[in-house]
Amino acid sequence: MINVQNLVKSYGNQVVFDGVSFLMTPGERLGLVGRNGHGKTTLFRMLTGEEQPDDGQIIMPKGYTVGHLSQHLEFKEASVLAEVQTVLGDRVAEESYRAEAALMGLGFSREDLDRPASDFSGGFQIRVNLAKVLVAQPNLMLLDEPTNYLDITSTRWLTRFLCKWPGEMIVITHDRRFLSGVTTHSMAIHRGELRRMEGSVEKLYEQIHMEEEVYENTRQNEEKKRAQEERFIERFRSKASKATLVQSRVKALEKRGRMEALDSDQDLKFHFNTAPFHASTMITVEDLRFGFDGGPELMKDLSFTIDKGDRIAIIGPNGRGKTTLLNLLADELKPKGGVVKSNPNTAMAYFGQTNIARLTDGNTIEEELIAVQPDLTRTGVRSLAGLLMFRGDDAIKKIDVLSGGERSRVLLGKLLCEPSNLLLLDEPTNHLDIESIEGLLDAVDEFPGAVVMVTHSEMILERLANRLIIFDGGKAQLFESGYVDFLERIGWQSEAGERSTKKKGKAQKRDKKELRRLRAEVVTARSKATAPIKKLVSACENRITKLEEQVKLLDAQMLQAVDKGDNGEIAKLSARLGKDRKAIDVEFADLEKHSDKLEALRAKFDAQLEELK
């Protein structure tokens, strides 16, 4: 169990935490979310002892161990297996299998286990560090963006592993699907405070949004009442007969204080600039074959078209050819066989991980954007930079001082500057926080052209993809449907044995017709169970709307009464306003109660549907 009390931390004039507290219960798996730069990694460093708080304390039980995913790459052993086995101590002989299972689950082959870590890329070296944390089995595990360096099959394996994790865990990640799969509680760093609750990140943010909406409604009402009081005071200040009443109102106004308006959060909101395209097919790929010299053949006899409106996802384990295929489509590589033929009117915009390195370190953000479209005015450049969350003088920051996420946003901005009708996106959500990912996905949703995307996020796959190109089992193939269909009909080769065992163990050998029938029954039951609560929610919303309209009308009448100096009418209207505002508060409380019940019911039926996949 962890008890964090009145934690204070600042860097110079930047206050990160100011008296925050939270308690973790035994066995709790906590998803930690918040905007980039708001203190998530700082909290991890204080929990591991790498940094000390300026004030407050972190209390842990005696002998409590903390393991964290280190970005520091230093290996001393002759092989990756021996490196991971170092955390087992004197248990190596009997528990070596756990080190092997973790490495292979994270994408290493059996042949890789005897190779030194220096043979692998930085991403795979991070996986070695992750395997060490998993095998060590600390009391508390801290994972900072553990899926950033994982492919889709390794992420699925890690999800299953963490679901069985017996100890406490805190996870930072931008992948909401991964969070919902492995956590029991959620905690957000929001407006300098820690907000924690049982359940999903979505539920937590809904709660925060509802509370802030109530706060803002209350603040606006308070401002209207204050304006009325100030007008009354100003009108009767000079009248001796009203001096006592005016003074009483002045004191009451000072005592009441003022509710401050909440700062608006910056969200990544933009639209891709669309070039017209009147034909149907943008690119035709026929019998494509490619492999790097001295390496295996990555794709053979691959044929497909990219049509206007397509949302094609390229998926598979790392190192199988996904980015290579994007480079072939972008004409940055030439095929060894077959053809890639583009329509002359295809206007392509390519976001690639290697493209970020093409930003010029000495340039400012403004200069990078102007280099793509020189006719942009200063105002136009500043507006675009603002959309990318570089407000004001942030637009003149140099590229070499930007974080990975900020560089990704600059590259996205360069894509916005030129009209396009085909987007090629290679893991564009890496280094973006949850809110920025939502902004990007909204823009992709609205884009009328075609999109081809490499991603390891199952949430994005289910939301966007209507066709797949799958690299698995040593080949690349087209799948003419979405990701859920792929999992149900084919599935990942590395999970074939697990699927077979699971089906036998749970007697899930139902045919598709039976599954459809059972799913239909669940959907019908969900509809019947949620219908009355939806009516209650709708009724509350309607009553709130009517009451707010009534309050607005009474406010107008109050202003007229103040102008006339009609004290009797003012008193009567004040009483009615107080009654209606109290009724609004009651309705909001009922709305929150009904909404929570509706969310719980939906979660229950969604779990049943998930079981029937």
Residue ranges covered by each domain of the chain? 2-205, 281-505, 514-611
Q: Measured between alpha carbons, how far is residue 138 from residues 40, 83, 347, 482, 574 in Å?
A: 20, 17, 52, 39, 61
Select from 161, 190, 171 the least CA-distant residue to 47. 171
**Which residue reads 């973006």 in tokens?**
432
CB of 451 within 8 A of CB of 272? no
Give the pLDDT score at 265: 56
> Distance (Å, rounded) from C-alpha 475 to C-alpha 320?
9
Q: Write the CA distances from 233 to 348, 558, 575, integer angstroms.
A: 64, 14, 19
In the beta sheet, which residues pair with residue 31? 171, 186
pLDDT, position 241: 67
Say what the pLDDT of residue 251 is. Answer: 82
Structural tokens at position 481 = 């449907």
Look at residue 479 in the predicted model and tell me its pLDDT.
94
The whole-number pLDDT of residue 496 equals: 76
**Is the pTM value of this prediction over 0.85?**
no
Same fold, 2-205 and 281-505: yes
Classify residue 249 by burial, with Cβ atoms within 10 Å: 0-12, 13-18, 19+. Answer: middle
- Given this model, what pLDDT does residue 351 score? 86
What pLDDT, on a 0 to 100 scale, did the predictor assign at position 505? 47
Query: What is the block-wise mean pLDDT of the chain (613 residues), using blocks of 10 residues?
Result: 90 87 91 84 91 93 90 87 92 90 92 92 89 93 89 92 92 88 91 86 87 85 84 77 76 79 61 87 96 91 95 92 94 94 94 74 87 76 75 85 78 81 89 75 89 92 93 92 90 74 48 72 80 84 85 84 81 86 86 83 79 69
The topology under which CATH files domain 281-505 is Rossmann fold (3.40.50)
Instruction: State the pairing for strand pair 2-11/14-24.
Output: antiparallel
Contacts 24+ apart (CB under 8 A), 216-223: 216/261, 216/262, 217/548, 217/584, 218/259, 219/259, 219/260, 219/261, 221/551, 221/581, 222/256, 222/258, 222/259, 223/259
Contacts of 377 (CB under 8 A, 6+ apart): none
* Res 510: pLDDT: 47
How much is the pLDDT for 170?
Answer: 95
d(CA 248, CA 233): 10
Instruction: Tell me which fold the domain 2-205 belongs to.
Output: Rossmann fold (3.40.50)
